[in-house]
Amino acid sequence: MQAKAPPQDRILDAALRVFRRHGFRRSSIELAAEEAGLTRQALYHHFASKEALFRAVLERIYAQGLAAEIAAAKAAEEAGLDLADILVAEIGARMQSLLASLKDSPHTDELFSEHLAQARDLYQSYSNRFADEIATTIARVCRKRKLNLESGVSVRELARCVEMAIHGTKSAFPSMQPVDAFLKQLETMLRMLIAGAMAPSAKKSQRKTGVRK
């Protein structure tokens, strides 16, 4: 017999389905409680408001995206891929995870707008954590493989530029749709950015050691 998910997880799963189906404005604590198989009072025991519930859903989505990013970077690095391929895999995994949470929702635009209105501090916090993870990957790969960045380019600056490339690609694809086109354009921008940031000796080293799939 399959064990039931903890109440908090069950509520967040149900709430995500409700927000995806109805959008933020038309969703309610009552709908989330019904979806989770709970009374309204039972759900209020865990979350004081619809806004608090929405914030908790967002935080879990971000945490899952970060976990997917870390796992993808590790797998790509262990496979011997070059820095550009590692970062493409890492960021692609993050974006795929984030996008999967809103798959097939007719309210994607509204949910993106509301997530900034309701939890901008959370968005900024995870943006910093995502950038930190990218910087950690760049520093680790460069150190292990004795790669150098162009003179005047720091690991932190390159990581910030990578995040800016993500946001720039978003501006060309509102709500990051269609997904395939968004991810392809993002990959192109990332490869161009990394190629321009590497010192000539590092580019030669990557061509020798990188394993392209």
CA distance 23 to 158: 36
> What pLDDT score does 175 carry?
75
Output the tens digit of pLDDT for each of the chain's 213 residues: 445 667 899 999 999 999 999 999 999 999 999 999 999 999 999 999 999 999 999 999 999 999 999 999 999 999 999 999 999 999 999 999 999 998 889 999 899 899 999 999 999 999 999 999 999 999 999 999 999 999 999 999 999 999 999 988 888 877 787 889 999 999 999 999 999 999 886 555 555 554 443
CA distance 35 to 12: 10
Closest CA to 138 of 180, 197, 79, 189: 197
Tokens of 157: 């600056």
**Which are the contacts of 135, defined by CB distance < 8 A and separation ≥ 6?**
155, 156, 158, 159
Q: Which CATH architecture has domain 58-208?
A: Orthogonal Bundle (1.10)
Distance between first and last Cα of the chain: 41
> What pLDDT score does 138 carry?
97
Torsion sign (Cα): 92, 97, 98, 103: positive
Long-range contacts of 78-81 (CB under 8 A, 24+ apart): 79/211, 79/213, 80/209, 80/210, 80/211, 81/210, 81/211, 81/212, 81/213
CA distance 162 to 186: 10
| pTM: predicted TM-score of the whole model, two decimal places | 0.88
> What pLDDT score does 174 carry?
74
> What pLDDT score does 204 carry?
56
CA distance 145 to 78: 12
Partner residues linked to 198 by β-bridges: 149
